[in-house]
C-alpha cells in the first residue's frame, strides 16, 4: 500500500488567513522561548561557574527593554494560541469555527499585550 501524499516543502506552503499566521507565529514563539531559556541558563553558567563577563553580557541583553518586549510577546502569544489549540482539540465540533477562534484569540491577546507593554515602558521611563 502506498500513500499518495506529497511530503516535503509543499506542506509548509502558505495557505492563507489567520490560522496559518497563528501556526507560523506559534512555531516562532516556541523557538523564541527556547532561545531565551538557553540564554538564561548560559548566562547563569558563565557568571556563577566560570566567573566570566560573558554571563553579565547575556544578562544585559535579556534585561533590555527591547528584548523584554519581544519575550513578553512570545510568551503571551504562545499561551493564548496554545489555549485556542487545546480548546479546538478538546471539542472537535468547534473546528468549523477556527477562524472565529483565531480572531477571538487576537481580540484577547492585543489588549493584554498592549497593557503589559504600556506598564513596562512607563515604568522604565519613570525609573530612567
Quote the cell numbers at residue 94.
Answer: 468547534
Q: CA 41 to CA 127: how far, in whole Å?
A: 28
Q: How many residues would you count in the chain?
A: 128
**What architecture is domain 18-127?**
Up-down Bundle (1.20)
Report helix angle 18-44 to 65-90, nearest 10.
130
Q: CB of 86 within 8 A of CB of 101?
A: no
Quote the cell numbers at residue 46.
Answer: 558563565
Q: Has this prediction a pTM greater than 0.85?
A: no
The highest-confidence range among 47-51, 90-94, 110-114, 123-127, by mean pLDDT, is 110-114
User: How do the domains of the chain map onto residue ranges?
Assistant: 18-127
Residue-wise pLDDT for 95-112, tens only, equals: 899 889 999 999 999 999
**C-alpha distances in angstroms, 117 versus 5, 47, 58, 70, 72?**
44, 29, 22, 10, 8
What's the pLDDT score for residue 48? 81
Amino acid at each position: 500500500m502506498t500513500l499518495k501524499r506529497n511530503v516535503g516543502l509543499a506542506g509548509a506552503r502558505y495557505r492563507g488567513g489567520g490560522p496559518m499566521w497563528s501556526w507560523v507565529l506559534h512555531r516562532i514563539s516556541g523557538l523564541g522561548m527556547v532561545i531565551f531559556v538557553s540564554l538564561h541558563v548560559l548566562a547563569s553558567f558563565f557568571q556563577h561557574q566560570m566567573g566570566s563577563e560573558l554571563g553579565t553580557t547575556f544578562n544585559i541583553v535579556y534585561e533590555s527593554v527591547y528584548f523584554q518586549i519581544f519575550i513578553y510577546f512570545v510568551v503571551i502569544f504562545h499561551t493564548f494560541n496554545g489555549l485556542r489549540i487545546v480548546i479546538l482539540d478538546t471539542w472537535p465540533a468547534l473546528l468549523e469555527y477556527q477562524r472565529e477562534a483565531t480572531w477571538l484569540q487576537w481580540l484577547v491577546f492585543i489588549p493584554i499585550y498592549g497593557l503589559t507593554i504600556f506598564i513596562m515602558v512607563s515604568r522604565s521611563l519613570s525609573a530612567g
